[in-house]
Structure 1
Amino acid sequence: MAEADPGIFSSIAPIREVTVADAAALDAALRAAKTPFVVRGLVEDWPLVQAGLRSGKAARDYLLARARPRPFTVAVGTRGSGGRLFYDAAMGMNFQTVQAQLGEVFGQIDLDEGKADAPPVYLASIDVHDFFDGLHAANHADLGERSCIASIWMGTPTRIAAHNDFPDNLACVAAGRRRFTLFPPDQFRNLYLGPIDNTPAGRAVSMVDFHAPDFAAHPRFREALRHAQVAELAPGDALHIPSTWWHHVEGLAPFNVLVNYWWRDTPRWLGQPQDALNHAMMAIRDLPADEKAHWRDLLDYYVFENSEDVVKHIPAEARGVLAPMTTESTGRLRAYLLRALSR
């Protein structure tokens, strides 16, 4: 797999590294963090990590022994793509998504290992608890009382375009090597994001090829690089990616495994901000300018500023969804929106 041009990436600032002595120290570091950080060797004692240090085949055997007999979703890219899972020339996808038993997937990886033109194979965001028996119990990071989604990502050398996620993320390399290139949330304008409703994996991605940036087509990407941070992770290393930070992810070894944990500091029963953005594009974006200005003012008033002036003239028991959201009020509002959208 081709390495990124060192003339472009060698000047990117490294992601800061921290040392944590135990789970309490990790918890404190996560609570205090506003920017990404790396913890070297955080999960180096995992049996999966130890298997991967022996070989990629040993890691696959370890995982296969614990996999449930059910179909896994796998993306299979095109030969000669350099591992980049992205759009094709017609803005379709340059990979196919298929269902297969994990043994079949790993068997093909065994056959293709070492072949320069092998198509990339990627199993993304597989739920650890649903697809494996005993894997989490033997291989997990202690994140205290956080309610986390634990996912495993497995595959051959790949390049995943820069994207962001709403939850906070702790990404732990269990086998192989990964390079993460991160950007602060406010750099989205300089990353040249693609479509929102036609994406490789559900999130808008940067259209820039990080291995061959076209600065004529994407001149603001130079500014994004000024704010970028990069880290290459070895087996056992972990990276904290704060909510909404953009991240470009590369699997660098012949076989790579990552286990990540997502969590939200806000209650899970709250809505997804991306849904609100999608609805706003449908309902507001194409209105006349004066009407858009009115709705912008209302959004500032009710959502972004949300000062005491919004509700102080309304009896507390009558404020409805203008009061702080609860499970009950969120449920009522969600039901109202579903009825409105179905008309």
Structure 2
Amino acid sequence: MTERRTREIAGATLTDFSPAALLSAQEPVILRGLAADWPLVAAGRRGPKEAMAYLKRFDAGRPVVGYTGDPAIGGRFFYRDDFSGLNFDARRVGLSDYLDRIVAHLGDPAAPSFYLGSTDLDRYLPGLRAENDLPLPPPVEGRDPALASIWIGNRTTAATHYDMSNNLACCMVGPRRFTLFPPDQIANLYPGPLEPTPGGQVVSMVDLRAPDLDRYPGFAEAAATAQVADLEPGDVLFYPALWWHNVEALGAFNVMINYWWNDAPAFLDSPMTTLLHALLSLRDRPAAEKRAWAGLFDYYVWGDSGRPAAHLPEQMHGDLATLDDRAARRLRARLLERLNR
């Protein structure tokens, strides 16, 4: 694997923090020490038990989904060896009880793998953000606010995957390593099934700890494009939507807070809906037809959004009109009508 390092900004401060500037670069970047003064980071520096005690102060008492795997999986939450299912158990648990299970195995070299992923911070740990938060600008009218989540566990690995949102990953407790690949490496990462998935998103079938190049030869090309971001508590990593990332939590106890956001109107549908519909309507058509449809998509979707209607009088724009909430509702209703035929 490459040892190309993610670009860093040393001495980043909350005063000059600008998500818009990060997004414009469309490249991962580490903001060293941006969250170093947060109380959760300070608690973690005192030790895992102190960090857990701090988190328990905010436990709302709502059950969370905890993932638990046998020691044999080595912390990598994935599929079973025979692909008959997932290699871990997912159950609703009390947050504080789950933390107690982790602490009971802190000194155990053969500990089970514990992982609490993507848990809504405001719902399950209300008040934590009042003391530990990035000063994100208020959402532009018509756009959803950023979603803040927390990730907790012992030594675990989240298999290489992508998210559909931009991400700010804040390392709170324990060191963490991200290995990142640009979106155009999808074929060389050998994506798994669309469902089921270990954590909601499609994952690469390549194990970065021991890549099988006989089975996945294209991964050598992906590896040449990879970059590594090693984070210490207080560091923040930004990476854009659709960048593939493998995440290793390296401490005996690890906590991360992240923020997901999209720079797009809230009325837009998920592109995954489009992909699923394309599998149904386009994938298995003759190659010549697919090439022709690619030209139509270039014109209507990938190109200048105003061009298809530019030569038409306004009263004839119809579905080609500039989208707003009302137009999106109308278009969604038309789609549902066609799908239900």
How would you bin the TM-score normalised by the shorter chain?
over 0.9
Distance 1:29 1:318 in 2: 38
C-alpha contact (below 8 Å) 1:12/1:225 kept by paired residues: no
Unaligned runs of 5+ in 2: 140-144
Distance 1:316 1:52 in 2: 60
1:79 to 67, 71, 85: 71
1:191 and 2:184 aligned: no
Structure 2 counterparts to residues 13-52 of structure 1, below 5 A:
13-19=4-10, 20-27=12-19, 29-52=21-44
Superposed CA offset, 1:228-281 (max 9, x none): 110111110000011111110011001110000011111122111111111100
Percent of pairs identical after alignment? 44
Change (3 A) 1:337 1:312: same
Q: How big is the shift at 1:152?
A: 0.5
2:111 is matched with 118
1:239 is matched with 237
Comparing 285-294 with 133-142, greater Cα deviation is found at 285-294
Q: How big is the shift at 1:30?
A: 1.7
2:331 is matched with 333
1:291 is matched with 289
1:66 and 2:64 aligned: no
Change (3 A) 1:221 1:31: closer
Distance 1:338 1:161 in 2: 35
Secondary structure, in 3 states, of the residue corresponding to 1:209? coil
Comparing 165-174 with 14-23, greater Cα deviation is found at 14-23
C-alpha contact (below 8 Å) 1:12/1:226 kept by paired residues: no
Superposed CA offset, 1:164-208 (max 9, x none): 112111000111111000011111111111111221122111100
C-alpha contact (below 8 Å) 2:306/2:322 kept by paired residues: no
Distance 1:163 1:257 in 2: 19
1:319 and 2:312 aligned: no
1:134 and 2:127 aligned: yes
Change (3 A) 1:212 1:293: same
Q: How big is the shift at 1:320?
A: 2.1
Secondary structure, in 3 states, of the residue corresponding to 2:18? helix
Change (3 A) 1:307 1:123: closer
How high is the TM-score relative to the length of structure 2? 0.93
Runs of 4+ in 1 over 4 A off after TM superposition: 306-309
Secondary structure, in 3 states, of the residue corresponding to 1:300? helix
Q: How big is the shift at 1:306?
A: 4.4
How high is the TM-score relative to the length of structure 1? 0.93
C-alpha contact (below 8 Å) 1:23/1:143 kept by paired residues: no
1:106 and 2:123 aligned: no
Unaligned runs of 5+ in 1: 1-7
Q: How big is the shift at 1:307?
A: 6.2
C-alpha contact (below 8 Å) 1:23/1:144 kept by paired residues: no
Query: In structure 2, what residue type is equivalent to 1:14?
Result: R
Query: In structure 1, what residue type is equivalent to 2:89?
Result: Q
Q: How big is the shift at 1:44?
A: 0.9
Distance 1:41 1:309 in 2: 45
Query: In structure 2, what residue type is equivalent to 1:187?
Result: Q
Q: How big is the shift at 1:145?
A: 2.6
Secondary structure, in 3 states, of the residue corresponding to 2:52? helix
1:159 to 152, 157, 160: 157
Distance 1:50 1:143 in 2: 22
Q: How big is the shift at 1:308?
A: 5.3
Distance 1:32 1:43 in 2: 22
C-alpha contact (below 8 Å) 2:68/2:115 kept by paired residues: yes
